[in-house]
Amino acid sequence: MGAYRIAVLPGDGIGKEVTRGAIEVLQAIATRFNHQFEFQYGLIGGEAIDRAGTPLPTETLDMCRQSDAVLLGAVGGPKWDGNPPHLRPEKGLLAIRKEMNLFANLRPVKFYASLADSSPLKADIIQDVDFVIVRELTGGLYFGKPSGRRVENGEETVVDTLLYKREEMTRIITVAFELASKRKKKVTSVDKANVLESSRMWREIAEEVAKEFPDVELEHMLVDNAAMQLIRYPKQFDVIVTENMFGDILSDEASMLTGSLGMLPSASLSTTGPSLYEPIHGSAPDIAGKNKANPIATILSSAMMLRLSFGLHEEANAIERAVQQVLTSGYRTADVAKKGQRVVSTKEMVDEIKAAI
Amino acid sequence: MGAYRIAVLPGDGIGKEVTRGAIEVLQAIATRFNHQFEFQYGLIGGEAIDRAGTPLPTETLDMCRQSDAVLLGAVGGPKWDGNPPHLRPEKGLLAIRKEMNLFANLRPVKFYASLADSSPLKADIIQDVDFVIVRELTGGLYFGKPSGRRVENGEETVVDTLLYKREEMTRIITVAFELASKRKKKVTSVDKANVLESSRMWREIAEEVAKEFPDVELEHMLVDNAAMQLIRYPKQFDVIVTENMFGDILSDEASMLTGSLGMLPSASLSTTGPSLYEPIHGSAPDIAGKNKANPIATILSSAMMLRLSFGLHEEANAIERAVQQVLTSGYRTADVAKKGQRVVSTKEMVDEIKAAI
Ligand SMILES: CC(C)[C@H](C(=O)O)[C@@H](O)C(=O)O
Ligand SMILES: CC(C)[C@H](C(=O)O)[C@@H](O)C(=O)O
């Protein structure tokens, strides 16, 4: 039996409902496996702006740093869209990633036979798809300076800067190789080396890191081609590793393979402190508070937490099996339901998964 | 009857075969409609490196500038992959875009009923898809300075710069609105305004330009969401406008809707000189010289040339109708053929299209 302190940041929109669902599932795990999970709550995003004047209050950050792992819902909403850049909900997300050094974002993409119908892709294309996108999360265009407007020769000009240090590239590519060495032993490194200097350095470093993993195959792929291959023949992938912005675009695209963003969990790992787990979907303001959101992405994120932060493999498997079982039994939230299927609410879905544990 | 001077840059790999095919089709048009097309040939890409020591020789550029339009095949190949950046085939492509001020890249994505089988997407998703991606082609990360490595506090660091001038954004967004006003009157402007300063300026300018087109609807979409929506529900789009790198990624992704890159033409327009037309596929070194390449993307690019550079609408329609007809009759190059279909060579496909004109 173990005791774990989990910082929960529900955030905005459906963030509250889906984290609540994941916590209930974690409690079911605690009971069954005799663990103790202590949940502490913090503000982030729009709600933090409203109640504390900043998208990432110091108290939130302190609490997260002292936790064993962080569970995040989602941030953002139309209410704050007009805010100046430093008072946007997303700034809270970017800040916590940077402050907690959460440089390695893992986004598994896995085929669920029971959901094949809700994917826009043909069944034979997505069958047995099982890969992980490893996205660099604390560098590149998201954080490089300069970033802003200036007047040059009388003309208004704007820049953003794609900046990486060698070490930042090395560590994320290493994470990808370590992961691949425990899986199907193939790394696809995605870049734009025919245009970008940063990609040429990335490719060089990928070659260097590859030498330390002689049993893992390294393949380079241009980002435009990767965007195509992801839907043309996704079975070719095992671990995809790429920089921040490319990873943002490709992982949202890849989410369509499973039929819904509502299915995809993610882990954001640090090597210097606790890691963070969150669904890859957003705050979906249109359905917030309506007991309609799909809680599975967050529930699967909590399974990743058990496995990667606490080493509780059996417990993580129990959650994943429960999700499979409930889907196979035909339960669907509205986002993945097809005609004739039984549509359940967020709460009913959570109850079914708890019951299956 | 008109006389037109067309600069032809076959380039590398299958570039030679597909431009030859398009030229034959243009000659069939010349005969039927009583025009005169004069073709002049120039070097670009890998072949230009081999024979003239640079990926874009001055003679090529001069010839293109004095033409009425440019037809390009493709550049690149493994032979030059180890070359230093300034001696890469792609540099020729980037240089001609910049030197000729080809800032507006139009990439139409259109559903072909006869090819629905070869798309990885379900038929009901792609049916009746008909949109155009307007990609900015001479700015952003592709050309911004600084771009290179440097040592900062003893650490090797690399940067690329996403740079735009106000005027560069204004003119490309204006092209998109002009196009939409002649189509379904909807512009989807794609950016990453929740992270990038350049995207916030882009969004502002899109709002400004929209005021001049009161009958065209403007919608903003984040690039990660756009990567998803393109496969989730592509029928929602009419004209998509975005900056250079986002456009590169999204247009290759979108090519999968039609089943093959081998189908998609593009136009790169300048307002200060001749425009350039090229297939969006690459040089496909693996099948080069084997009489296997799909010439349709280049043939459709020549139709765009007739329409957009020469105002020859009836002639352009004749090419497009001929392509439709040949596809409907069941002819397929290997890239789009399904089991049981008649696979034809590049040459046979060209002959069929000529015969249909
Ligand atoms: C909300 C936004 C800043 C964020 C990102 O771009 O990283 C999101 O899209 C994600 O992928 O987590
Ligand atoms: C070859 C490469 C430099 C080019 C680009 O990235 O623009 C190509 O991918 C394209 O889309 O025309």
Give yes or no: A248 in active site. yes
CB A13 within 8 A of CB A288: yes
- Residues on chain A touching B136 (C-beta within 8 angstroms): none
Mean pLDDT, residues B182-207 taken together? 97
Give the ranges where chain A is alpha helix by DSSP (H).
15-33, 46-52, 58-65, 89-99, 123-126, 166-181, 197-211, 223-232, 244-255, 296-308, 313-328, 346-356
At residue B114, the pLDDT reads 83
- Residues on chain B touching A155 (C-beta within 8 angstroms): 165-167
The size of chain B, in residues, is: 357
Mean pLDDT, residues A303-315 taken together? 98
Assess whether pLDDT exceeds 90 at residue B262: no
Looking at chain B, the whole-number percentage of residues with pLDDT higher than 70 is: 100
Q: How confident is the model at residue A325 (pLDDT cuts 50, 70, 90)?
A: very high
At residue B321, the pLDDT reads 97
Q: Identify the three-state secondary structure at position A83.
A: coil
Name every protein residue with a CB atom under 6 angstroms from any ligand 1 atom: A 90, 93-94, 248; B 194-195, 224
Nearest listed ligand to the Cα of residue A76 = 1
Q: How confident is the model at residue A339 (pLDDT cuts 50, 70, 90)?
A: confident
Assess whether pLDDT exceeds 80 at residue B182: yes
Mean pLDDT, residues A215-225 taken together? 97
| Lookup: tokens for B227 | 């990567």
At residue A126, the pLDDT reads 95
At residue B261, the pLDDT reads 82
d(CA B305, CA B277): 6
Mean pLDDT, residues A243-269 taken together? 93
At residue A340, the pLDDT reads 76
Write out the H or E segment, with its range, that includes residue A337: none
- Given an 8 Å threshold on Cβ–Cβ distance, is A249 in contact with B164? no
Q: How confident is the model at residue B62 (pLDDT cuts 50, 70, 90)?
A: very high
Report yes or no: A138 at the B interface, CB cutoff 8 Å. no
Report the residue of chain B nearest A202, measured CA to CA. B158
d(CA A127, CA A124): 5
Domains of chain A: 1-112+259-357 (3.40.718.10), 120-133+140-258 (3.40.718.10)
Q: How confident is the model at residue B276 (pLDDT cuts 50, 70, 90)?
A: very high
pLDDT in tens, A18-32: 999 999 999 999 999
Assess whether pLDDT exceeds 90 at residue A76: yes
- Residues on chain A touching B256 (C-beta within 8 angstroms): 228, 231-232
Mean pLDDT, residues A78-102 taken together? 94
pLDDT in tens, A162-173: 999 999 999 999
Give yes or no: A224 in active site. yes
At residue A82, the pLDDT reads 86
Q: Identify the three-state secondary structure at position B269.
A: strand
Average pLDDT for chain B:
96
Torsion of CA B6, B12, B16, B19, to 10 degrees: -40
Which of B121, B162, B195 faces A122 most closely, judged by CB atoms?
B121
Mean pLDDT, residues A284-304 taken together? 96
pLDDT in tens, B115-165: 888 899 999 999 999 999 999 999 999 999 999 999 999 999 999 999 999
CB A256 within 8 A of CB A121: yes
Which of B88, B201, B228 faces A253 most closely, judged by CB atoms?
B228
Assess whether pLDDT exceeds 90 at residue A151: yes
Assess whether pLDDT exceeds 80 at residue B244: yes
At residue A290, the pLDDT reads 96
- Given an 8 Å threshold on Cβ–Cβ distance, is B228 in contact with A125? no
Q: Of A248, A277, A335, A351, which is the active-site residue?
A: A248
Q: How confident is the model at residue A260 (pLDDT cuts 50, 70, 90)?
A: confident
Known binder of ligand: residue B34? no
CB A14 within 8 A of CB A293: yes
Provide the residue type at B250 as one letter: L
Average pLDDT for chain A:
96
Known binder of ligand: residue B79? yes
Label residues A162-195 b or e (16+ Cβ within 10 Å = b).
Answer: bbbbbebbebbbbbbbbbbbeeeebbbbbbbbbb
